[in-house]
Chain A
Amino acid sequence: MSGLHSLRGTSLPSQPQSPASRHLGSARLTRRHPTPTSSSVLDRYGPSVLFAIALLAGTLLRLWQLNRFGVNSDEAVYLGQAAALAHEPTLSRLFPLFRAHPLLFPFFVALALPFTGREALDLAGRLLAVGFGLATIVVTMAIGRLLFGRWVGATAALFLALMPYHVTVSRQALLDGPMAFWVTLTLLALVRFAATQRTSWLVASAVALGLGVLTKETAVIFFGAIVTTFALHPELSGRPRPLLVALGAFIATVTVHPLATFLAGGSGTERTSQYLVWQLFRRPNHEWWFYAWTIPPALGLAVVALAVLGIILVWKVWSWRETLLVAWIVVPFTFFQVWPTKGFPYLVATTPAIALLAARTLGRLFALGSARSGSVLPTRSNWRRGIALVTVIAVAGSLAVPSIAQLRAVTNGTFLAGSGGVPGGREAGEWVRTHTPEGTKLLTIGPSMANIIQFYGHRKAYGLSVSPNPLHRNPTYEPVVNPDLWLRNGEIQYVVWDAYSAARSPFFAEKLLTYARRYHGRVVHTELVRTVDTQGRPTDLPVIVIYEVRP
């Protein structure tokens, strides 16, 4: 007997009733308040159709021109790690296997590498990320169906499928999208545990969270969300023994990475602890309001509004479900608000919970799914359900439009890390690979473009802005302690200016151009991106300029 059945009230009488399922109340309510209504076609097939639309739209949005732009710096690093794991000869010289994060995502990409080859590595990585993104939509649907019914599940899936934030992140070969999948799977198993009180689901939840940590260690924050929920709803946690078993399973899972690092040995493993120190003490990379300013529009203001509205308006039916979902959002948000390093994709694992809360609001207010036999909610009139559908369509539209616009957007020469591919980066790298001798060394403004050049260009590149002070740099990056000397000695043969790094680091951009002028810099390649000027006229914007230099 699955937990899903028990939530729908078809559990066997002999099965002990869990405290959580009493709160869920689906079985009880159905039996106490049987409201036999005629099951319309809409109610019968609507959620399935909506979910199918969500999957279809989600797939299209994630695959449309997926590889149009080359990878960004973080993608280059993770895919480079995958290549290093697969022992791809060229890239494994440029990208160390062990860096800041665990290796579950590179592990999957490395498995695909023999089939895709080095040339299609970027596409393979992104397709894998898309796969994780679509799987997250499916899991979100399953959670919503368990917690609030099929309509809410399908609606949440639709919101997530169209959400600009999730679309953007799950199109990139980053760790955050796959991590979001494991974390959402954790949530699903946790809900099932709450419904069934079966230890095996709690263990599954712990292992899923462990896989999340093996994808990106920040997934451990969601352990805090679980603890918070259990603390506020002691009836969920039950006896201590299952908790201890689950904790053991979690620890055993996450121990895999340090164990693999220890057993693998080799160069780079000694840096593992340095990353932690660096992450703890590095300077903030964004202002404190970064998330508040950046994330809500990416989530969709309508979705955020619906989620907040639902918490306020239907607080009377607050249960562990709402606590869990809210904790799934608030705990990571609070953590990253305090954590000095802020990245655009870091909060993507909270998006399923936000979509679920928003969909729940519609379900509550407009009785979506109420007509279905076994529904949690009382029946509402048809006009309210009509409004609900219109609202769903409107919200979906409000998500789809910016998502599509975002995919069609042209660069203005600036770039937010983690927000997509880098226009011109792949082309510049390929120019480097085909036009420069083996053994060429390049100097870029910062390490981001250096990573891209290394990934596509297969040449060593150094970031001018990498600090010689080990406390102020990523332990992986090699600083150029005396760039003037290196250039004068002919150690560096090309310098690469790019508009994206220049917008972030004007000082080092100017410094780089000074070197280009000083060492007979000659423009040998320029990447132009077609954009529009302030008056709306199409114009070609130079985004990457490569200078040949000599002593």
Chain B
Amino acid sequence: MKLVRPLLTLFLFASFWLPLQPVHAARPEPNTPIRHFIVLMQENHTFDNYFGTYPGADGIPPDTCMPVDPTDPASECVEPFHIGNLPIEDLDHSVVTFRRQFNGGRMNGFIWALRLRNHDGRIAMGYYDGRDLPYYWNLASEYVLFDRFFSSAHGGSVWNHMYWIAAVPGTEKNSIPAEGFSNDIVTIFDRLNEAGLTWKFYIQNYDPSITYRTRTEVVGPRAAQVVWCPLLAIPRYLDNPELFRHIVPLDEYFTDLQNGTLPNVAYIVPSGASEHPPGSIQAGQRFVRSLIQALMRSPYWWNSAFLVTYDDWGGWYDHVPPPQVDEYGYGFRVPAFLVSPYAKRGFIDSTIYDFTSILKFIEENWGLEPLAERDARATSIRNAFDFTQPPRQPAFIPWDWPPPPPTPEPRRSAVFGLYGLTVALALLTFLIPARRIHFLRRSLSSRRSRPSTPTHRGEGKR
């Protein structure tokens, strides 16, 4: 009975004090060493356009010749060609153009579809190679290149960006609804919030005042930030400051790396460096390099993965017919590569992926529920990692492609031989006058002491 009063006091204290303490939801531990996943969405290129001639990848078949008009059996055809410094344009990449280019899986309408949209469609058969994309090609040779990574939808940016964050197209038309996307759409960021995981959406040249509500008033291309970051078209993300504060300028990516505040999941979209034709692909590479270099210089490198991909095909030729999993997709293949200390070295991953594979990886890594049917059925990009290996040291990727030939090595043996011989002879030169070589002296003196004229047996007898 003596213990009843203290126990009761303790119980009362605990019942008042404990509820006052802030609740820290235990963050789920990742199922892999990847604690930070960063994904960058560039724009408008196909796999064949960027890596069609990359050694070992499923690139442009050697006998490719695209008919100008697939409906005419006598039509001339255009072979793939190196673009180099040829001028390019923003090719049409609408749903209609996709269907014509896809042509029921025959994949022979790439020029024709564009000609019907008043383009000189031959440019679609152009490709870049390592001379134009040295950084990307070097990245691919060092880390993981995906050659079966399809865009999620037939259309352009809007659907594909929505699949990227929510595994759904968001709208039946490939455009942002005037009233914004439905608040009912669940995004990966909702899942992260629920799990107590951190996230940010970094936007290059971000202007917080440009949203789906104001984009029509904005003159120029900056309104496109609403397309690149679909969260700016979902009302609840704008109206809830707790959600809105996660959408930040890209500069914060660098300061987060420096200050140790990089979130678990980071989405990045470019502005001027998106590689969207006719934009500079070199500028895009430099932009990507700055992001990856910053990661490599930070302590986050050791438990991070950085994935670069492209939102749609941009009207360019690709030779692999995309599997049609539903009425929206897949679209054509897009370039994608993964950089991580756990990425397989120089690996070409031919597993079929789309943007929802990114969601799948995030969900699997942190034990989150799927968002929709697409990501539930998607294959995670986990195959690109090798978690049995120790993390690789960061290494800045060179810009030269092909790598400069090794400078001819000097024949070091010539230097060693000649200098060694000289030192040895010099030593002898000093030992001789110093009379240190007794054996030599004895040898010389004994030679001198011999009779100068040879004696023959016969002479002695005489």
A binds B: yes
Q: Which residues of A contact B (CB under 8 A)?
A: 2-3, 85-87, 97-98, 103-104, 107, 110, 185, 189, 192, 196, 198, 200-201, 203-204, 207-208, 210-211, 214, 249, 253, 256, 259-260, 263-269, 436-441, 489-491, 493, 520, 522, 548, 550-551
How many Å from the CB of B282 to the closest CB on chain A? 9
Q: Chain A contacts of B420 at CB under 8 A?
A: 107
Task: Identify the interface centre among B286, B289, B429: most chain A CB within 10 Å of its CB.
Answer: B429
How many Å from the CB of A195 to the closest CB on chain B? 11
Interface string of B392-409 (1 = CB under 8 A from A): 011111110000000111
Do A260 and B419 form a contact, CB below 8 Å, given A2-B434, A268-B410, A489-B286?
A: yes
Do A211 and B396 form a contact, CB below 8 Å, given A85-B415, A265-B411, A550-B254?
A: no
Do A256 and B419 form a contact, CB below 8 Å, given A192-B433, A204-B433, A437-B394?
A: yes
Do A98 and B425 form a contact, CB below 8 Å, given A200-B433, A201-B433, A520-B254?
A: no
Residue B414 is within 8 A (CB to CB) of chain A in the complex: yes
Residue of A198, A207, A438 touching B426 (CB-CB under 8 A): A207
Residue of B396, B418, B423 touching A439 (CB-CB under 8 A): B396
A260 to B417, CA, bound (A): 9
Do A204 and B412 form a contact, CB below 8 Å, given A253-B422, A437-B296, A439-B395?
A: no
Q: Is the CB of B429 within 8 A of A438?
A: no
Residue of A whose beta carbon sits closest to that of B421: A256
| Sample of 18 further A-B pairs with CB below 8 A, known A439-B396, A490-B290 | A85-B416, A104-B419, A104-B423, A185-B430, A196-B433, A201-B433, A203-B429, A208-B426, A253-B426, A264-B410, A264-B414, A267-B407, A267-B410, A268-B410, A437-B293, A438-B393, A493-B293, A493-B297
Do A87 and B433 form a contact, CB below 8 Å, given A439-B397, A550-B290, A550-B294?
A: no
Q: Which residues of B contact A (CB under 8 A)?
A: 254, 258, 286, 289-290, 293-294, 296-297, 393-399, 407-412, 414-416, 418-420, 422-423, 425-426, 429-430, 432-435
Q: Is the CB of A189 within 8 A of B410?
A: no
A491 to B396, CA, bound (A): 10
Q: Chain B contacts of A263 at CB under 8 A?
A: 411, 414, 418
Do A437 and B433 form a contact, CB below 8 Å, given A256-B422, A264-B414?
A: no
Residue of B whose beta carbon sits closest to that of A4: B434
Do A260 and B258 form a contact, CB below 8 Å, given A253-B426, A266-B408, A551-B290?
A: no
A-B contact pairs, 20 of them (CB 8 A): A97-B415, A98-B410, A104-B423, A201-B433, A207-B425, A207-B426, A249-B429, A256-B422, A260-B418, A264-B412, A265-B411, A267-B407, A268-B410, A269-B410, A437-B393, A437-B394, A438-B395, A491-B399, A520-B254, A550-B293
A249 to B429, CA, bound (A): 10
A417 to B140, CA, bound (A): 45
A438 to B412, CA, bound (A): 27
Q: Chain B contacts of A210 at CB under 8 A?
A: 422, 426
Residue of A2, A436, A550 touching B435 (CB-CB under 8 A): A2
Residue of B396, B416, B423, B434 touching A437 (CB-CB under 8 A): B396
How many Å from the CB of A472 to the closest CB on chain B? 24
A9 to B420, CA, bound (A): 38
A350 to B444, CA, bound (A): 39
Residue of B397, B399, B415, B423 touching A264 (CB-CB under 8 A): B415
A259 to B415, CA, bound (A): 9
A189 to B433, CA, bound (A): 9
Shortest Cβ-Cβ A-B pairs, 9 listed: A266-B410, A439-B396, A437-B394, A200-B433, A263-B414, A438-B395, A267-B407, A264-B410, A264-B414
Q: Is the CB of A97 within 8 A of B422?
A: no
Q: Is the CB of B426 within 8 A of A439?
A: no
Q: Is the CB of A438 within 8 A of B410?
A: no
Q: Is the CB of B396 within 8 A of A204?
A: no
Residue of B290, B398, B430 touching A204 (CB-CB under 8 A): B430
Q: Chain A contacts of B425 at CB under 8 A?
A: 207
Q: Chain B contacts of A437 at CB under 8 A?
A: 293, 296-297, 393-396
Q: Is the CB of A107 within 8 A of B416?
A: yes
Q: Is the CB of B411 within 8 A of A551?
A: no
How many Å from the CB of A95 to the closest CB on chain B? 12
Residue of A whose beta carbon sits closest to that of B399: A491
How many Å from the CB of A108 to the closest CB on chain B? 8
Residue of A201, A266, A520 touching B411 (CB-CB under 8 A): A266
Q: Is the CB of A440 within 8 A of B396?
A: yes
Q: Is the CB of B293 within 8 A of A490?
A: yes
Q: Is the CB of B254 within 8 A of A87?
A: no
Q: Is the CB of B408 within 8 A of A211?
A: no
Q: Chain A contacts of B398 at CB under 8 A?
A: 439
Q: Is the CB of B415 within 8 A of A260?
A: yes
How many Å from the CB of B341 to the closest CB on chain A? 11
Q: Is the CB of A438 within 8 A of B396?
A: yes
How many Å from the CB of B390 to the closest CB on chain A? 16
Q: Chain B contacts of A548 at CB under 8 A?
A: 297
Q: Chain A contacts of B419 at CB under 8 A?
A: 103-104, 107, 214, 256, 260
How many Å from the CB of A69 to the closest CB on chain B? 28
How many Å from the CB of A103 to the closest CB on chain B? 6
Q: Chain A contacts of B430 at CB under 8 A?
A: 185, 189, 204, 207-208
Q: Is the CB of B429 within 8 A of A490?
A: no
Q: Chain A contacts of B289 at CB under 8 A?
A: 490
Q: Chain A contacts of B296 at CB under 8 A?
A: 437
Q: Is the CB of B426 within 8 A of A256?
A: no
Q: Chain B contacts of A103 at CB under 8 A?
A: 415, 419
A260 to B411, CA, bound (A): 9
How many Å from the CB of A267 to the closest CB on chain B? 4
Residue of B whose beta carbon sits closest to that of A436: B297
Q: Is the CB of A266 within 8 A of B409?
A: yes
Q: Chain B contacts of A266 at CB under 8 A?
A: 407-411
A201 to B432, CA, bound (A): 9
Q: Chain B contacts of A98 at CB under 8 A?
A: 410
Task: Identify the interface centre among A204, A211, A265: most chain B CB within 10 Å of its CB.
Answer: A204
Residue of B whose beta carbon sits closest to that of A185: B430
Q: Is the CB of B408 within 8 A of A259?
A: no
Q: Is the CB of B414 within 8 A of A260?
A: yes
How many Å from the CB of A248 to the closest CB on chain B? 12
Q: Chain A contacts of B290 at CB under 8 A?
A: 490, 550-551
How many Å from the CB of A29 to the closest CB on chain B? 25
A104 to B422, CA, bound (A): 10
Q: Is the CB of B410 within 8 A of A211?
A: no
Residue of B whose beta carbon sits closest to that of A266: B410
Q: Chain A contacts of B432 at CB under 8 A?
A: 200, 204
Q: Chain A contacts of B433 at CB under 8 A?
A: 3, 189, 192, 196, 198, 200-201, 203-204
Task: Identify the interface centre among B411, B414, B418: most chain A CB within 10 Å of its CB.
Answer: B418
Residue of A104, A185, A267 touching B408 (CB-CB under 8 A): A267
Q: Is the CB of B396 within 8 A of A493?
A: yes
A204 to B425, CA, bound (A): 10
Task: Identify the interface centre among A2, A198, A249, A489: most chain B CB within 10 Å of its CB.
Answer: A489
Task: Identify the interface centre among A87, A260, A439: most chain B CB within 10 Å of its CB.
Answer: A260
A87 to B413, CA, bound (A): 11
